[in-house]
Amino acid sequence: MAFEFEIIATDGDARAGILHTPHGDIPTPIFAPVGTLATVKAVPPRDLEELAVSLVLSNTYHLFLRPGDELVRDMGGLHEFMRWNGPILTDSGGFQVFSLTQINKIDEDGVTFKSHLDGSMKRLNPEISMGIQQNLGADIIMAFDHCPPPKDRETVEQAVARTHRWLERCREAHPDDDTQALFGIVQGGIYPDLREQSAKFVTDIDLKGYAIGGLAVGETKAEMYDTLDHTLPFMPKEKPRYLMGVGEPDDLVEAITRGIDIFDCVIPTRLARHGAAFTHDGRINLRNAQYKLQEEPIDPQLDNYASRFSRGYIRHLVVAKELLAHYLISLHNIDFLVSHAANMRQAIIEGRLKEYKDSFLPRYLQSDSTDS
């Protein structure tokens, strides 16, 4: 029972569930903040717990380069290293290898690349990725995949085939899901036939969950939603479905409505570092002078530590480049997305997800443009 997924309610294609893990239960749908280097930027684990965060992500590529996965292992694994007692998911490093580095060689075995830190030559392949993630000790680990540009068909075809071959090697290198659950990744760009092909292949391998990768990487929102429509029918309903790297509030609504369970994204803390915040009336940029004298909190519908402070004060911190601004806005943005997913979960349980969607989206989207 260490890794079991149970669906407790449905509303159309949307599901409310519980993913049981050795470090606690994950209620789904769920938004997970990203702790790339074993820390969610500017926000300590204590505050994540207070926000009812139940899953945190860390990054295989970055931790492999610094401080090194063997060091993390020797320090007791990620849970002990970062003092986070809840579930952790690590990605495979594939996305970063193909997006952040100067690729030197892609071959059947894996990828040779230059470190973005010091230019030294490094190697990642399915077996190395599995070994790194085993050292890190996350609850959920991801198969090493090839994430291509979404609209280059020839490259996407090659990436799908390579991802499938690498998944088989990941399964062979990590055959036991008792302590770490391996998730496979469906690729295919924006091409329905390739997504169907990939979904059928990946889900034919018995894994604890399945992810959809290669979206939110340059395609339009309409193309993303169409791709989900073409992909999800070929993914098993009894397993958790994870949409990688997606975290915009409107995207959560559209994807949850279609049957996605797990989300992650760096967007809440990245926006915070630029003074931008989510609100139910759209995204706002607290650098703007219109907030200088506003006494209300960033979003009166939320109640977290950042809610104690006025928009005017937080704007002052942003303009003055005070570090407290990063902390408060990051805290707020994470709370917004975590609460947003939790509210949709409750709406699914109560059979009113359409009401929630019809109430949330027009209000959020009508203002979410010029201010940010």
pLDDT of residue 150: 86
What's the whole-model pTM score?
0.97
| Predicted pLDDT of residue 368 | 45
Are the beta carbons of 31 and 243 closer than 8 angstroms? no
- Say yes or no to pLDDT of 26 above 60: yes
Question: In the predicted model, is pLDDT for residue 96 greater than 80?
Answer: yes
Residues 23 and 89 sit within 8 Å (Cβ to Cβ): no
pLDDT tens string 301-320:
999 999 999 999 999 999 99
H/E/C letters for each residue in 135-159? HHCCCEEECCCCCCCCCCHHHHHHH
* Dist. CA 172–CA 53, nearest whole Å: 32
State the residue for tokens 């599995």: 130
Given a cut of 80, whether residue 100 has pLDDT beyond it is no
Which residue did the predictor score with more confidence, 101 or 61?
A: 61
Q: Which residues pair with 242 in a beta bridge?
A: 211, 262
Question: What average pLDDT does the segment 217-222 reach?
Answer: 96
Pick the more confident residue, 17 or 104: 17
**Is the separation of the CB atoms in 252 and 361 below 8 Å?**
no
- In the three-class reduction of DSSP (H, G, I as helix; E, B as strand; rest coil), residue 16 is classed as strand
Tens-place pLDDT, residues 40-90: 999 999 999 999 999 999 999 999 999 999 999 999 999 999 999 999 999
Report whether pLDDT(35) > 50.
yes
Q: How confident is the model at residue 232 (pLDDT cuts 50, 70, 90)?
A: very high
At residue 98, the pLDDT reads 83
pLDDT attached to residue 97:
87
Where, residue-wise, is CATH 3.20.20.105 in the chain? 4-265
Each residue's pLDDT tens digit, 260-289: 999 999 999 999 999 999 999 999 999 999
Give pLDDT, residue 132: 98
Q: Which CATH architecture has domain 4-265?
A: Alpha-Beta Barrel (3.20)
Structure tokens at 55: 């899953």
Predicted local confidence at residue 344, as pLDDT: 98
% of residues, the chain, pLDDT over 90: 92
Q: For position 80, what pLDDT does the model report?
A: 98
* DSSP E strands, 48-120: 56-59, 88-91, 103-106, 111-114
Q: What is the pLDDT of residue 370?
A: 46
Res 372 pLDDT > 60: no
1 falls in which pLDDT band (50, 70, 90)? low
pLDDT in tens, 107-162: 999 999 999 899 999 999 999 999 999 999 999 999 999 998 889 999 999 999 99
- Whether 371 has a pLDDT exceeding 90, the answer reads no
| Catalytic (active-site) positions | 91, 264
Q: Which residues contact 256 (CB under 8 A, 6 or more apart)?
A: 14, 29, 341, 344, 348, 353
At 369 the pLDDT is 46
CB 288 within 8 A of CB 269: no
Over the stretch 118-129, which tens digit does the pLDDT of each residue have? 999 999 999 999
| pLDDT at residue number 308 | 98
Dist. CA 359–CA 361, nearest whole Å? 6
Q: Are 88 and 21 in contact (CB under 8 A)?
A: no
